[in-house]
Structure 1
């Protein structure tokens, strides 16, 4: 069977915006797919303060990382991310550290979307060099991964509960901050780094050109050792367009393609493929709903319409859509039989929670 699963974060409409957004969407192919699809039981609703968004939790579950999610923690992805960047983790407990910008409002602090930081490798290296002595002094090994991703070994922080950056983005930060026995140790180290960066030349230059300063580090993703052996965890024969921290799962797939088009995918369909379409994430996290509408309509033209056509022409046998928002994930399963339900009117109504 040629089966493609697609996960589309923030394609499931927030209840408060649903009626307004639906009026401006033009997605007849998606309407056909979701109105006629079979729907398995929904995932339980996520708590508003969950430390990982539903799409991230779902993907972590697919690769066997269930315990951390069920215990209210971020996915233990640090060592997989290290391996993806060519770093051998060795022993110990490793966390991801993302250079970040925290916006200080009148009554709370909020984490900006990391995708908008646009930090160059040279800038990140300079900030890393300024931060490293503080980690050395604290007895923590700090490693550079890439411009947006560093790693710290902190064995005694293993029980800290942390959050993915996307879960925390745009909210009052307090509920998403690292929490647990050694949270004070982390805060003290973090504060020392923040002070060192306050007047750093990198931030002075960024401020002068109107870019967000790098004034924080986001700690999450604690893991030790490596992910389980491949035969135990790989549910897919191919993965496509995995990005951000979710790209760390890619190397565990027999066929991992970082970029792909609908034409390329349907020309050589996998036995069981997973495709991530995450272009709705940035506008949703920033509440830019006009851009969200524009992006949604592009997904219709570039992906949903070609994939519906591939299903109709029997190029693929099954198409499963996983659509989410900040608290829900809903699944739609289509095959040749569901498409024959011609008496069901095409509608996007099922996008509403």
Structure 2
């Protein structure tokens, strides 16, 4: 990016992939996003980067696939994660087909903190004897604390959602022991009072925990580059705290910020991974109002000298002078998705 006041927006899932829809001309127009993508300089990435790795890359010069998301996201969720080894332990529903298990992790699988607390209390009774415990971050964000560091390679939930878990199960020297632990947790969940209450209401049971992102907070080193990070995402918030940036909520806007501002919004990523095209377009309209229109207005007003948008598959850079590239036709978003092979 150019020198001067910089704004970068990280929006995983922005360009899909999404299922095709009938009559795409009826989809809502997104004027600010169309200007950013139409008049900016777009670069398609050869490999799609998952959101946890994309977020880590904003704070670490040489990001690794073995990212310590567990302790960093726990920190972002307000948990003291300075001691021990932490995993993200996402509550999920595994759907059994004839020959495979498919991970169905919905953002609203659990909506009540009380329900999540009930699950965690039951599971912690079992985990205590092994020196482990679950901590609550949000209804669908839990964290597993271990005294000892297991030797495991794991896969982020977002990369497995909607797919068979067969090739994404934890691997490594300790995989067998942890597979047995997972089986015991699944049996406990099957008989849990919280799940009986869920099924009585016609809801799918929480029948597994998906562990990923194991690490120690002491091993998470962030470089101090961003002056301000605007996000409600705990992983981005945790990295920002480690980088000594000012962390603000996504809704606070771009007023009274420093020279280098990062905005992170991952809500669309989970919806896109689930293939829900209509919820995805609703999310796009929300992003237009909350992020893209204010960001473009701030750029045009001279509050920033450059704006960059990253999605995980595409990078688009827009300078203030680029707004005069009026000869470039502004396209509906579905046309841009088709050109990028994301629809």
Residues 98-118 of structure 1 deviation map (CA, whole Å, 9 limit, x = unaligned): 222222234322222242212
Q: Return closer, same or farther for 1:67/1:308 CA change in 2, 3 Å cut-off.
A: closer
Q: Return closer, same or farther for 1:18/1:217 CA change in 2, 3 Å cut-off.
A: same
Q: 1:86 aligns with which of 79, 84, 87?
A: 79
Structure 2 residue 249 is matched with structure 1 residue 258: yes
Structure 2 residue 32 is matched with structure 1 residue 32: no
Farther off after superposition, 248-257 or 167-176: 248-257
Structure 2 residue 328 is matched with structure 1 residue 344: yes
The answer for the alignment partner of 1:55 in structure 2 is 51
Q: 2:5 aligns with which of 2, 5, 30?
A: 2
Structure 2 residue 98 is matched with structure 1 residue 98: no
Mind listing any 5+ residue stretches in structure 1 that lack a counterpart? 47-52
SS in 2 for 1:176: coil
Q: Return closer, same or farther for 1:135/1:302 CA change in 2, 3 Å cut-off.
A: closer
Distance 2:321 2:58 in 1: 26
Distance 1:22 1:240 in 2: 33
- TM-score if structure 2 supplies the norm length? 0.85
Q: Return closer, same or farther for 1:68/1:197 CA change in 2, 3 Å cut-off.
A: same
The answer for the alignment partner of 1:116 in structure 2 is 108
Q: Is the 8 A contact 1:126 1:202 kept in 2?
A: yes
Give the CA deviation at 1:243.
Answer: 1.3
The answer for the alignment partner of 2:148 in structure 1 is 155
The answer for the alignment partner of 1:50 in structure 2 is none
Structure 2 residue 208 is matched with structure 1 residue 216: yes
Q: Is the 8 A contact 1:114 1:165 kept in 2?
A: no
The answer for the alignment partner of 1:290 in structure 2 is 278
Give the CA deviation at 1:205.
Answer: 0.6
Give the CA deviation at 1:339.
Answer: 1.4
Mind listing any 5+ residue stretches in structure 2 that lack a counterpart? none
Q: 1:281 aligns with which of 269, 275, 287?
A: 269
- TM-score if structure 1 supplies the norm length? 0.83
* Cα RMSD after superposing both structures: 2.7
Q: Is the 8 A contact 2:53 2:63 kept in 1?
A: no
Q: Return closer, same or farther for 1:167/1:244 CA change in 2, 3 Å cut-off.
A: farther
Q: 1:144 aligns with which of 135, 140, 144?
A: 135
